[in-house]
Homo-oligomer: A and B are copies of this chain.
Amino acid sequence: MVRSPARNAELALLLEVAGTPKPGNVDRERDVDDLHFEHFLAGAVGTQKGLRLAAGGTPVGEAFEAAVAGMSDQSGGNTQFGCLLLLVPLVRATTQRGLAPESAAHVVEHTTVADAADFYCAFEHVDVYVDDPPEDMGTLDVRRGSDAVPELERRGLTLYDVMERSAPADGVAAEWVNGFERTFETADRIESGQGPVTDRAADAFLALLAEEPDTLVAKRHGRETAREVRERAAELHEESERADRDDVREFADELVERGVNPGTTADLVAAGLYVALERGVEL
């Protein structure tokens, strides 16, 4: 029996949140304020309809909005919005022409203005943390939701165009314009790892966090904090080759206390897990 792409995507969401220690984020061992592990479980189960639509050929924007609507059927708030923005085009690519960086790039490059409109509507289902929009995008602030659609249409912006404008400050949008580079690197890392996949997901999280500043942390707490978190992660990542994980756990506790959650990095891990599962990584 082979799991369908939609089910692998849901399983990727579950494995991602189960990986521990994952500094600053909800994981198997940590809840964060009013956001609990169970909200992620319910969120993941809720995405299934939208993910199946994506697998069946429904346009990316529409499938994404459906997935976000289903995800939001729990009281914790935003659990996997960013993950879905990666998973939906990846699932679409898988069934359309086989999963690879090129096919994923093809899917996102062929999104339309209607996809962009559905993406904006998705913000009405859940409170997503976003920064002020880039200078020329003021009237296209995603927080306006469907109110921004007429302006999108007037300017003829596709969802890819919107992501291109967000890419410099948003690690998820950056994947859209760079052929899902870090996603596929993360899949390689997970596939070549040893032991439970949830442990490999936690390792991949630390590796990604060590590599580049998390853009959600940068938006919420400023670039300086994002840089500091990256440096701390880099030190721990080097040590983790030989050390046990107590020091990573301490860092995890500290970030949770400070309210610093590297959410974009978690999104990349979920996407990497999906690719690894599609390629047959065994659980």
A75 contacts chain B at the CB level, 8 A cutoff = yes
Out of B2, B11, B48, which one reaches A7, CB within 8 Å? B48
A283-B11 in contact given A69-B1, A196-B38 (Cβ < 8 Å):
no
Q: Which residues of B contact A28 (CB under 8 A)?
A: 28-29, 37
Q: Nearest Cβ in chain B — how far from A283, in angstroms? A: 5
Residues A45 and B198 in contact, CB atoms below 8 Å apart? no
Residues B14 and A197 in contact, CB atoms below 8 Å apart? no
Q: Which residues of B contact A15 (CB under 8 A)?
A: 38, 41
Q: Nearest Cβ in chain B — how far from A63, in angstroms? A: 16
Residues A70 and B1 in contact, CB atoms below 8 Å apart? yes
Which residue of B is nearest A17, CB measured? B41
Which of A's residues lie within 8 Å of B, judged by CB? 1-3, 7, 10-11, 14-15, 18, 28-29, 31, 36-39, 41-42, 44-46, 48, 69-70, 72-76, 196-198, 282-283
11 contacts between A and B (CB under 8 A): A1-B46, A7-B45, A7-B46, A10-B45, A11-B45, A14-B41, A31-B196, A36-B196, A37-B198, A38-B283, A48-B48
CB-CB nearest 7 A-B residue pairs: A14-B41, A74-B283, A42-B283, A11-B45, A1-B73, A38-B198, A36-B196
